[in-house]
Amino acid sequence: MKPVIAIYPGSFDPLTNGHLDLIERGAKIFDELIVAILRNPEKEPLFPLEERLEMIRAMIQGRENVRVDSFDGLTVDYALKVGATAVLRGIRAISDYEYELQMALMNRKLEPRLETVFMMPAETYSYLSSRLVRQVATLGGSVRGLVPELVEKKLREKLGPSARLAQRKEATHK
C-alpha cells in the first residue's frame, strides 16, 4: 500500500502546545506528516520564517515520520508537489468550524483528490491560539505551559524588557 502523506499547513507564529498536540496525533495516523509553514508576504510575522522553521525542527526532533517545510501559493499546489493526499487541520471549538469548513471546501473545489482531515487537540488547549500567545507575551503576561519552553525563551528574547519583567513578577509571586 502507498504510504499516506499529510500536510499540516499554518502560520505557526509561534508554534503552541496545541499545534504540538495535533502534530503528535497526526503522526500516529499518517505515514508521513509535513508541517508546512505558509510564507505569507502580506503578513508581517512576529517570528521570521527561518526562526519558525528552526523552532519546529527542534520540537519534532526524533519523530521519524514528521518533517517541517515552508511553502507559498496555494496549499493544494504544495500538497500535490510533495505527494500528499490529506490536509490536517485542528478544530478547537465550534467557532473554528465555519472558517475551516470554508477552507476545506475551497481546497476540495481546487483539488478534489485532496481530503481535509480535522482533529481535535486536547481540551486543555481549546482556547489557545498563536494570536493570543503573541498578544499576551507582548503585553508581558506569562505563556508558560501554553508553548514549548524553547518558544517561551524565544518570545522572551524577542519581546525584551516587558517579557522579562513579567517573568520576574511571576517568580516573586511563587
* Contacting positions for ligand PNS (CB under 6 A): 9-11, 38, 74-75, 103, 106-107
Annotated catalytic residue 130: yes
- CA atoms of 101 and 118, how far apart (whole Å): 10
Helices of type H across the chain: 17-29, 49-60, 75-81, 94-110, 130-138, 149-159, 161-172
Residue 7 beta carbon to ligand PNS: minimum distance, rounded to whole angstroms: 9
The answer to whether the Cα torsion of 52, 53, 54, 56 is positive or negative is positive
Nearer to ligand PNS, 13 or 152 (CB): 13
Q: Which of 52, 92, 134, 154 is catalytic?
A: 92
Annotated catalytic residue 169: no
Nearer to ligand PNS, 91 or 159 (CB): 91
Annotated catalytic residue 92: yes
Residue nearest to ligand PNS (CB): 10
Q: Which of 28, 43, 57, 153 is catalytic?
A: 43
CA angle 142, 70, 19 (to 5 degrees): 35
Nearer to ligand PNS, 121 or 166 (CB): 121
Cell 483539488 -> residue: 111
Annotated catalytic residue 89: no
CA angle 42, 68, 121 (to 5 degrees): 85
Q: Which residues are catalytic?
A: 19, 43, 92, 130
